[in-house]
Chain A
């Protein structure tokens, strides 16, 4: 089973906060991998919030191909973090040449584009790089987006963190999501490692999604750029989130109505019952049949957690104004924010969507039975 930890803090934090929480929860994962998502960055990236940052792992040859490709498009490197890989490799972790975190200047004229178009182009470039890399096995790309860094590697989270020396100022961020991976029935492939990211939306998931195949088929057939991959059954959660908010124009409160729609009695009693019934029918193929706990981050930097309908995976939210964490287990929360009011810790149940907004002032709990703000 994977273990998840996410934190949003007014004061930028080191990724090690999340890694330590992950380490505390190590009984719940098998140390087969780690995924890290950093957003609302501080340090050098604070000054370049608009610049797209490419995160990935490259071979020497891959870097050369990347440089040529990006230069042909007109991208110029603006800033980069060099993660020096120690000479002695970490047992169980493949030998890598370069962990790349590089911010780019947009090609001339791109800045004037509407953000939506810009985002589409960035996504397209990431997908092209992924395809190029899969062919030659010389690049793995995780994200290409402003103010977002992603690092993924095979191995024990803490050991990987030390190996890559992640406790550095340049990587401090206000939103951090981390996942300690359990290698289940999908091959060890970094593209199967969450968090997953698409156009500003990121999620990570605990548990297996038994309805994976029909959902994957449905998403693949949406003809939406970026709905590809699916090396992991968890990737569909990110894409369903993107689909709900970006394509259907609904709010985060509707996400749960899509993945775990209400049943008859609740639907009849719901003030938006008629709409939700339609939504349940038309999005039937996106209903999950987890046991799943999903933690995600929205483009506005909100964090949220939802549970499945039947076999809730462990998940708890707690903290204090200015700093809130979402964790698989309370011990993870204790490690990250020990000085919180523990009596206010909240474990979302089958109807809840728990959110902390960009202001980081409070935990908002939205029940599926509550009225839904519909788009006008």
Chain B
């Protein structure tokens, strides 16, 4: 900094930033790949002036000095260009000459990312690593009287139900009378949660769909994927693969014009319809697709002009109350597909989830309830919503299950848990814990991006720029120059890898517990935790 440069309140040094780019002059070849790949232009070519002193003790010549210029990489300190830590520079550097380092203390840039009075928005998850799910252990190991099973060779039926299941008495009666029995899908308990076409790049979406189709058709695993609120590509709507898809309708109704028009031409029914009332990452807030990502294709599918931000309202505007919304929307969606497709709401984790659930128990059409906890990810949200709003999923799911058990409806309304499942990489353990707490299945989003496409985002605030369409891996970008980095087939392959390894791990968890013929929903006697209060709260065993 020059001595006469004015200091403004937002003048920061590299030390003040969250991510500091370490660059080695010795290794750098000045190829320029790092500066061109940086998604936020945090680094630029720098011209440095350096003074070298010549003080040769041997000769009698007087000391001299020389000013030299060298070229290298300079990190910008303007908060608008702050490094996001994605480390793409490191990825492309031929000599490992550059790498972003996390600041060793709380950064100062956080106080300045609100230029123009606009608070920080970003993608990713709550910037809080860890979580209760990882602390839960599976303690009821079958020994002696009930020997453990062989996870590798035993037969397992680890599927779950999505749909309103009638109580046995009614079911038998309706079956006899040829009455209407709500549609129920037998699906794999790990569902790819709602990530919209728009939030995700076309390559990412196609890769996911391809992987899901392969899992279903080649491996016989009934894996399902939810579209999120962004409609569905017209060809998929008219293909047999639609049956692997859960169509989401949310408060912006994006893409539903296209869906409704495709109805007469659909070869298959979709797996289900998810009505989104909320999501865990930004509870009480509507979906948001920022203008950067609304290109011609996205605009066409969603039925909107290009280049405008698409904020969905926080609630379904045509409805007066959630009770009415739930009843009417569920009814309408059932009617659209001739009562052949299950329809269920998804809400964000909240202390009022029980009110919603109790309402659903009295609605004979409600096909389930998905609850998305505070650790859920998103493509775009205000930072404050992500970091501070929402309810943890563990207690929400447990309360919901116990509430249903009290009403005797634990088998009638399947609960799906989402939000931070596999956040620390322990996908199967987290999923199994939630299932044993009472979930019928779990939804994952961010985990799929990380495992199947190499998403760099983390809860230490790395990358997390899904909102601006600059995803360096091409996962959440609509810029062909970026998303062509993502190979569709390889994403599909990774989706398959992820589900197969999950399946093995899930068996490795349930087999020692002596379970194989049904998913151990609500098997809370298998769970333990070394946190006394958590154990009390979740009604599981306290173990130390």
Tell me the A residues contacting B by CB distance below 8 Å: 1, 182, 184-185, 207-208, 210-214, 217-218, 220-223, 243, 247-250, 260, 263, 274-275, 278-279, 281-285, 287-291, 309-311, 374-375
Contacts and interface: CB of A to CB of B under 8 A. Distances in A.
Interface in B161-193: 161, 165-169, 171-172, 175-176, 181, 184
Nearest to B154: A310
Interface stretch (B224-232, B357-365, B509-517): B509-517
B515 A289 contact: yes
Contacts of B169: 247-248
Contact of B172 (A182, A213, A249): A249
Contact of A218 (B154, B411, B517): B411
Interface stretch (B240-248, B492-500, B522-530): B522-530
| Residue of B154, B155, B411 with most partner-chain A CB within 10 A | B411
A107 B146 CA distance: 47
Contacts of B154: 310
A270 to B, nearest CB: 14
A1 B513 CA distance: 18
Contact of A284 (B161, B181, B405, B407): B161
Contacts of A1: 145
B410 A285 contact: yes
A275 B408 contact: no
Ordered nearest first, which 4 A-B pairs have the shortest CB separation? A221-B408, A210-B514, A208-B146, A282-B171
B162 to A, nearest CB: 11
B518 A284 contact: yes
A223 B167 CA distance: 13
A181 B520 CA distance: 27
B406 interface: yes
A353 B523 CA distance: 27
A214 B146 contact: no
B97 interface: no
Contact of A279 (B168, B411, B513): B168
Contact of A212 (B406, B411, B516, B525): B525
**Residue of A243, A311, A375 most packed against chain B (CB within 10 A):** A311
A210 B513 contact: yes
B157 interface: yes
Interface residues of B, number: 40
Given A208-B514, A211-B515, A285-B410, A217 B405 contact: yes
A210 B175 contact: no
A309 B516 CA distance: 10
Contacts of A250: 172
Contacts of B168: 243, 247-248, 279, 282-283
B145 A207 contact: yes
Contacts of B410: 214, 217-218, 221, 285
A289 B411 contact: no
A207 B146 contact: yes
B147 interface: yes
A213 B517 contact: no
A217 B525 CA distance: 12
A361 B522 CA distance: 44
Contacts of B514: 208, 210, 289, 291
B142 interface: yes
Contact of B523 (A184, A207, A214, A263): A214
B519 to A, nearest CB: 9
Contacts of A263: 155, 157
B149 interface: yes
Contacts of A274: 175
Contacts of A284: 161, 165, 411, 518
A281 B515 contact: no
B515 A291 contact: no
Given A210-B142, A248-B172, A282 B411 contact: yes
Which of B408, B410, B518, B525 is packed against the most chain A CB atoms within 10 Å? Answer: B518
Contact of A211 (B166, B167, B408, B518): B518
B521 interface: yes
A309 B157 CA distance: 12
30 contacts: A1-B145, A207-B145, A208-B146, A210-B523, A211-B520, A213-B522, A214-B410, A217-B522, A221-B405, A221-B408, A222-B408, A223-B408, A263-B157, A278-B181, A279-B168, A281-B184, A282-B171, A283-B411, A284-B411, A284-B518, A285-B521, A288-B517, A289-B515, A289-B517, A290-B146, A291-B146, A291-B147, A309-B517, A310-B516, A311-B149
A283 B412 CA distance: 10
Nearest to B156: A310
Given A214-B521, A218-B410, A311-B149, 15 more contacts: A208-B145, A214-B523, A217-B405, A217-B410, A221-B409, A248-B169, A278-B172, A281-B171, A281-B184, A282-B165, A284-B165, A285-B410, A287-B518, A311-B147, A375-B172
Contact of A310 (B140, B155, B523): B155
Contacts of A374: 176
Given A211-B523, A214-B521, A275-B175, A281 B161 contact: yes
A214 B527 CA distance: 13
Given A275-B175, A281-B184, A285-B411, A260 B145 contact: no
Contacts of A223: 408
A214 B522 contact: yes
Nearest to A185: B145
Contact of B145 (A184, A282, A285): A184
A289 B410 CA distance: 18
A214 B436 CA distance: 9
A249 B171 CA distance: 12
B501 to A, nearest CB: 23
Which of B146, B155, B408 is packed against the most chain A CB atoms within 10 Å?
B146
Interface in B292-344: none
Q: Which of A223, A278, A309 has the most CB of B within 10 A?
A: A278
B42 to A, nearest CB: 52
